[in-house]
Amino acid sequence: MTTLDTVSSVTEPAFSIDPNAVILAWNEGAERLFGYKAAAVLGRRCWDVLSGRDMFGNQYCGEACPLISMARCHRAISRCELCFRGAADQSICTGVSTMVVPGSSGADLTIVHLFTPLGPEPASPDKLAAIERPTAREIEVLRLLSDGKRTGHIATQLKVTEATVRNHIQQILHKLNAHSRLEAVCVAWRLGLIENLNDNANC
């Protein structure tokens, strides 16, 4: 089975690129998630299409892509969480798993990215009514997380212990049904619990 066949056969959103980040395959799941048809992206560089950023708004995708660098050096690539630009110019937060497929010559390789969407679709009033709303203090913690603050910085700013901050974060994750801080920030933004993140977390 070729890499193209592999990408086409998986149900998860996925695409493959060469070591120069040129998109080689783009499956139906990727079309649904990002909104771009395969014909519109094949042959283009992935960072030109998706412009990935981390939860702090830092540009992640580009000429110096760390995932491609690790693939070239045959290093293990851990799952990461990023926000991408969709076809409607919306931000889409996902978990990214990466698989490297060696070529027949041993020198060439193909990189396959598989995506797990984080958080729910943009919330309806019914969805907002169904959640347990975070407290005012938890909203403060969410705002600080969206600004890229770490546990220690949040504790200092709120004049509480780090254990208290971690407890607030656990309560936030539970209430928003989120599995990470990034997902919690994105869900809170979609629910309108915190301000638009275009200038900070870019979710």
| Per-residue pLDDT tens over the stretch 113-164 | 999 987 544 444 455 556 788 999 999 999 898 877 889 999 999 999 999 9
Candidates 36, 119, 91; CA nearest to 27 is 36
The answer to whether residues 154 and 144 touch, using CB atoms and an 8 Å cutoff, is yes
Class of domain 3-117: alpha beta
- Domain 125-190 in CATH 1.10.10.10? The answer is yes
Distance CA 180, CA 162 (A): 17
Q: Report pTM.
A: 0.60
Average predicted confidence (pLDDT) for the chain: 83
The Cβ-side half-sphere exposure at 11, using a 13 Å CA radius, reads: 0
Q: What are the extents of the domains in the chain?
A: 3-117, 125-190
| Own/partner long-range contacts of 122-129 (Cβ < 8 Å, ≥24 apart) | 122/190, 123/190, 123/191, 123/192, 127/191, 128/191, 128/192
| CATH fold match for the domains 3-117 and 125-190 | no
Q: What percent of the chain has pLDDT over 70?
A: 83
Query: Model confidence over 63-104: pLDDT tens digits?
Result: 888 888 888 888 888 888 888 989 988 888 888 999 888 776
